[in-house]
Amino acid sequence: MVAVPKNFQNWQTPPEAIVPLVKYLPKNARIWEPACGDGRIVSCLQEYGFSAFGSDILHGHDFMSYMPKQSFDMIISNPPFGKMSDFLTRCYDIGKPFALLLPLYGLESRIRTDLFRQHGVEVLLFDRRVRYFTPGPNPVLGKSPSFSSAWFCKQILSEKLVFDRLSQASQPKS
């Protein structure tokens, strides 16, 4: 087991946040999730018929330096928010389509705005906050943070800014 990074953030993605993105993904896409945690995004994508696989720093595969042996067409991830600039930079450097679930404050910062200006960005906004799953000794289901989230994408959405609804009926799986 790899040591947990300092200030590790573990906000696992519920299916309700993935469903709005699914309609924009090519059905034959092979998807890499480089911060898969316990595999919620990978499992949800597989349930929708996508070929998806994951890796994680907790299993010895740091996205900043790791490249999987398996081929992939796009990256979909909910990276640690404290590493959002690093993840965005790496995704742009890899050059494949991507979607990163990030807090809306991800639009702020000189580094990120420079990246967006240089490479472009598409944003999928929700009608309410994502209810994340936080695992651990005292797991919390449906935890709603104090911030809104959105999918920050490159070469995935049909427009630069898309609005969609989170499914009220979907609950994070435990």
Residues 6+ apart with CB under 8 A from 22: 45, 48, 50
Mean confidence (pLDDT) of the chain: 87
Q: Is residue 7 domain-resident?
A: no
Q: Is residue 151 domain-resident?
A: yes
Confidence class for position 104, pLDDT limits 50, 70, 90: very high
Using an 8 Å Cβ cutoff, are 76 and 33 in contact? yes
pLDDT at 41: 95
pLDDT at 117: 97
* Mean pLDDT to the nearest integer, 114-120: 97
Q: Is residue 134 domain-resident?
A: yes
Confidence class for position 142, pLDDT limits 50, 70, 90: low
Q: Is residue 93 domain-resident?
A: yes
Q: Per-residue pLDDT tens for 18-47?
A: 999 999 999 999 999 999 988 999 999 999
SS3 153: strand
pLDDT at 50: 97
Count structural domains, the chain. 1
Residue 73 belongs to domain with CATH number: 3.40.50.150
pLDDT at 138: 58
Please identify which residue in the block is written with the tokens 């906000």.
11
Range of the structural domain that residue 68 is part of: 15-164
Confidence class for position 133, pLDDT limits 50, 70, 90: confident
Confidence class for position 15, pLDDT limits 50, 70, 90: confident
Q: Is residue 10 domain-resident?
A: no
How many Å is the Cα radius of gyration of the chain? 15
Q: Is residue 1 domain-resident?
A: no
Confidence class for position 169, pLDDT limits 50, 70, 90: very low
* Mean pLDDT to the nearest integer, 72-89: 96
pLDDT at 38: 85
Q: Is residue 3 domain-resident?
A: no
Helix locations, 26-161, DSSP H: 40-47, 84-94, 110-119
Q: Is residue 171 domain-resident?
A: no
